[in-house]
Structure formats: structure tokens, C-alpha cells
Amino acid sequence: MAKLAPQLVIALDFQTGREALDLAARVQGLAPWVKVGLELFVAEGPGIVRELKAMGFQVFVDLKFLDIPNTVRGAVRSAVKSGAGMLNIHALGGTDMARVAVAARDEAVSELGLKTRPLLLAVTVLTSMACANGKDPDNPILQGREAAQVVLELAQASHAAGLDGVVCSAQEAARIKQACGPQFLCLTPGIRIPNPVASPDDQRRVMTPEAAVAAGSDFLVVGRPITRAADPVSAARDILHRMGGSMAQAQPVRN
């Protein structure tokens, strides 16, 4: 199967549905995907997913489940029922939890009679972790190891458990594709435009949109560089331009 053009996912990290929907209305027709993360989901619940879908977006429900398998099973089923086009668990939850999550996604899809399976991804190592040399001795997950190596091992375990792909830094995407195959999806936050004035915020393992696409990223997640820009529409257009495409090139999958 040919690789689809990389797609832009705008992270709607807002405290209220009103702010999220206002931003979404401004980028309607530009980005195929929006992301509802912990901040917005905790404030608004699954209704916000339905509202964004009604506006024509595909919605990534980014709640990073990590719990006992039975609880993750229920959470995955609820996320699929909310209308998520993509959802995620933590790879650190282990193989049993990952396999149960895949089965729960598949059960919910057949119960609801969905034509398309929502994509199920595993978060490897957060893009806010690890310092410039790739090591962070105080980090209990990395334990002094190279982030890239830990990410690769978690990606291979996620691939073996039947997940569709992983959340990683674009810095790791090429190695993951090499190890797990081109169909194994890489969704990459930590996207930043080089700017001597702006800081990368709390992100550490960052890459530009151009480099992320070149590394093989399938989905680029961008939040503050768009949502906190003086002109979010121009910022989104600039990122799409740097990605070398537009929404017209993207081929969204619909439930």
C-alpha cells in the first residue's frame, strides 16, 4: 500500500470548548485532524469530540491510557464510542495491556458497525523528555539510557502487540520505520519552526515540519505554534506549506 501524504493534526489544548471550537472554526478546511487532549477532554467530556466531528474534522482523542488491562479495555471502548478517529495508550503499560486495548478497539468497532477502525497508537517516550544530548539521568523512564533506544524498543513491542503505530519524536521516526516497516505509523509532536526568539516551550526532542516529513512522519501534531500564534490561520498555512502539501493532498479516512 502506498504511503499517504503526511497529515497535520492541530492540538486543541484549551480550557474551554468555546475556545477550542473558535480555533477549530478558523482552521476548518485547512487541517484534516484536530486533537482533543487531557485539558479539553477533562473540561468538556466526549461531547466536544462529537461537535468537532460535526464540523468535518477527524478527531484524535489523546488521553494516553495506562492502567490495568480491564480498565484500559473500558476506556478504549468509551473512546471509540465517542467518535475518535484515533486514540492512544502508553506503551509503558506493557504487552498485556496493549493486546487488550487492540481487542477492545476491534470489539467496539464491530459492535458499532464502523466501516473504518480508529487508529490505535502507543505513546513511547514523551517529546518533553531527554535533554539535548539525548540523555536525562534523573528520568525514571529513561534511567540514563538514550531516549532513541528506549523509544525503539517500545515501538517494537507495540508493533508486536498489534498496534497501528506509535507517538514519538520525528527524530526517531526513520529508525522505527526501518525496524517495524513503512506501514507502522509514526505520529510526531514536538514540531517547531526554527526561530531565534521563540523557545521550544516544554518540548525537548523537537524537529521542523520539513525534517519530520523527510524522516517519514505520518502525522505531525502541532499545538502552540498554531493555537498561540498571533494569526493561527497563517501559522497553519505556513506549516502545511513546509510539510510540502495541503489538505487536498491528504486522504482522510472517515468512520
Residue whose CB is nearest to ligand C5P in the complex, by number: 223
CB-count exposure of residue 254 (10 Å: 0-12, 13-18, 19+): exposed
Nearer to ligand C5P, 80 or 220 (CB): 220
Reading the block at residue 57, the C-alpha cell is 474534522
Given candidates 24, 40, 123, 151, which one binds ligand C5P under the rule CB under 6 A? 123
- The span from the CA of 211 to the CA of 219, in Å, is 13
Q: How many CB atoms lie within 10 A of CB 51?
A: 18
Piece of 42-50, 111-119, 217-225, 241-249 that binds ligand C5P (CB under 6 A):
217-225
Q: How many CB atoms lie within 10 A of CB 229?
A: 15
Given candidates 126, 150, 155, 161, which one binds ligand C5P under the rule CB under 6 A? 126
Residue tagged active-site, from 35, 53, 64, 177: 64
Sequence letter at residue 174: A
Instruction: Find the shortest distance in angstroms from Cβ 248 to ligand C5P.
Output: 24
**58 is a site residue for ligand C5P (CB under 6 A):** no
Cα separation values, 74 from 81, 85, 247, Å: 11, 17, 33
**186 is a site residue for ligand C5P (CB under 6 A):** no
Piece of 97-105, 222-230, 232-240, 245-253 that binds ligand C5P (CB under 6 A):
222-230
Are 181 and 216 in contact by the 8 Å Cβ rule? The answer is no
Given candidates 7, 58, 82, 127, which one binds ligand C5P under the rule CB under 6 A? 127
Place of cell 536525562: 136
Given candidates 27, 167, 176, 239, which one binds ligand C5P under the rule CB under 6 A? 167
Piece of 44-52, 119-127, 173-181, 244-252 that binds ligand C5P (CB under 6 A):
119-127
Is there a catalytic annotation at residue 177?
A: no
**13 is a site residue for ligand C5P (CB under 6 A):** yes
Strand partners, 222: 10
Reading the block at residue 13, the C-alpha cell is 489544548
Given candidates 6, 17, 32, 37, which one binds ligand C5P under the rule CB under 6 A? 37
- The span from the CA of 180 to the CA of 87, in Å, is 20
Piece of 53-61, 95-103, 157-165, 220-228 that binds ligand C5P (CB under 6 A):
220-228
Strand locations in the chain (E): 7-11, 33-36, 58-65, 86-90, 119-123, 165-167, 185-188, 219-222
Instruction: Find the shortest distance in angstroms from Cβ 104 to ligand C5P.
Output: 21
CB-count exposure of residue 61 (10 Å: 0-12, 13-18, 19+): buried
Reading the block at residue 142, the C-alpha cell is 529513561
Q: Return the residues of window 63-92 that contact ligand C5P according to CB under 6 A.
A: none
Name the residues annotated as catalytic: 64
Q: Interface with ligand C5P by CB under 6 A: which residues? A: 11, 13, 37, 62, 123, 126-127, 167, 189-190, 201, 203, 221-225
